[in-house]
Structure 1
């Protein structure tokens, strides 16, 4: 009996994976609004009922697609940082991995363009807090503890640095294909310069009251 259940589970997981793959391709190519559940079912050679068996609706399917993208991004950033020799290089390796994802047309469209509209700002923000925002907070904390960044309040620093990273990602999203390599390099250089300026040894040019 357990063997039958195991096969059913394997089939269910394979079906869900196939639906997510088709949905990812369709949402990335046509956008959320222009993609229907019927489109996903046809692309996967399944019935609309099969889609509803795994997802309550189009938004739930899209959210699962975004979750996959964010999970892949998080894994890549973490892997890049893990092999670095210290906190600063780990953070910079993580930054490079993140910007590479932002330059990817599938990730950028699904997460940065379609995500806030399809899921609504609050839901999209919740997902970001679990993934990109959460990673930003972890890296800022790591840099502060290592003495690479001034001991500024973590919540405020995270908000500001995340805004910086979001701006860099938007610049990559909006860059024409022929300019992405150049913009990618510019984003990496500018973010590094700004973060380097947060080192405790770097004095403020003007006093702040």
Structure 2
């Protein structure tokens, strides 16, 4: 059972993440101060430092929360597609939707790549993208649409790397939809090449 204190602590953390998300997207990471974030969240600086050692840790939490929201949407799409359609195309399009259509999400990704180290970004991949892609590939394998002899861990790592490269390209583009349209057929062809004969 969650105590009142734990519930309040989670609400404070959520408020800080929401305020950080808004400020980083609108003003940018470098221009956003901890003082402004705590003012927006309506909490004390002490509360901020209780939850996050510094602004960079908040950025990691903000990006992680964005990944979680995207993951929920992708999982819902995959569940629907596994029953009625093209699982590969549906999952790929769902994975790229936020990068194409959500300008704030693109800004957060751009800032994260400029602030977080490669190791920190890899940790986010390990926590969010690897399990998601692994579960999608498992579903393809279950449906007989993925070669059983392929090493699951290697296949997952390679697909995640391709998706991350695509997201970086789409994020950096002035026309994200057109840039994704260039990558989409190549990605689909590659992933479908992993299918059984």
1:170 paired residue among 160, 168, 171: 168
| Structure 2 partner of 1:180 | 176
Instruction: Report if the CA contact (8 A) 1:22-1:44 is conserved.
Output: yes
Q: CA RMSD in A?
A: 2.5
2:186 and 2:83 map into 1 onto residues whose CA distance is 21
Residue 187 of structure 1 and its aligned partner are, at CA, apart by 3.0
> Alpha-carbon deviations, 1:55-112, whole Å to 9, x = none?
22212222221221111111111111111245973343221111002222222332x3
TM-score of the two chains, using structure 1 as the length reference:
0.79
- Contact 2:19–2:41 at 8 Å: present in 1 too? yes
1:200 aligns with 2:196: yes
Measured against aligned partners, the alpha-carbon deviations of 1:132-185 in whole angstroms (never above 9, x if no partner) come to: 122122222332343212232222222221222112212210111xx2222233
Higher relative contact order (CA 8 A, sep 6+): 2
- Segments of 5+ residues of structure 2 without an aligned counterpart are none
TM-score normalised by length of structure 2: 0.83
Q: How many residues align?
A: 194
Distance 1:131 1:108 in 2: 17
TM-aligned CA deviation for residue 9 of structure 1? 4.8
1:43-82 correspondence to structure 2 within 5 Å: 43-82=40-79
